Amino acid sequence: MYPEGFEMSEKRSQTVVHITIAAAARKTGLSVHTVRRFIRCGIVGEPLAEADLAELRRARRLTELGVSLSSLEVILRMRRQIEELQARMAALRTGLQSFPPLPGMPEAWMLISPDEWDTGDDSE
């Protein structure tokens, strides 16, 4: 049912496909040794999932550009943090849009998205 190198497990009513290290190496163009090293360093977790393949590909591209392993860890950790913050900001924006306007709020304020709010910072 699943291609060679892929395994399936049930996790909280979701089907998760785990990828073996050998299959991940084939799919990303890395050696098995390098995939294992990235797992040991915490760049990706084990068991490997589909999302880890994209992270392994990013790691491969950065190392090809000469980025050191320690710098690679920092770059990828910061990238994950940025993605988490962007998701939280999107959730907050959605939550703000669900609030009804305050009584007496000028209609013009209701037409301005939170991205356009004047923060009072005139340093621009």
Band (2; pLDDT cuts 50, 70, 90): low
Q: Per-residue pLDDT averaged across 38-53, rounded? A: 90
User: Residue 81, by phi and psi: left (phi above 0), alpha (psi -120 to 50) or beta?
Assistant: alpha
Above 60 in pLDDT, residue 13? Answer: no
Show me where the domains of the chain are located.
6-98
8 dihedral zone (left: phi>0; alpha: psi -120 to 50; beta): beta
Q: Greater confidence, 3 or 39?
A: 39
Topology of the domain comprising 6-98:
Multidrug-efflux Transporter Regulator; Chain: A; Domain 2 (1.10.1660)
- Cis preceding-peptide flag for 101 (omega within 30 of 0): no
**If we measure between CA atoms, which residue out of 49, 113, 51, 111 comes closest to residue 76?**
51
Q: Which of 48-52, 53-57, 77-81, 119-123 has the lowest mean pLDDT?
A: 119-123
Burial label, 20 (beta-carbon count in 10 A; 0-12, 13-18, 19+): middle
Average pLDDT, rounded, for the chain: 81
pLDDT at 101 over 90: no
DSSP string covering 21-54, please?
HHHHHHHHT--HHHHHHHHHHTSS-SSB-HHHHH
SS3 of residue 9 by DSSP: strand
Alpha-carbon 71 to chain mean position: 18
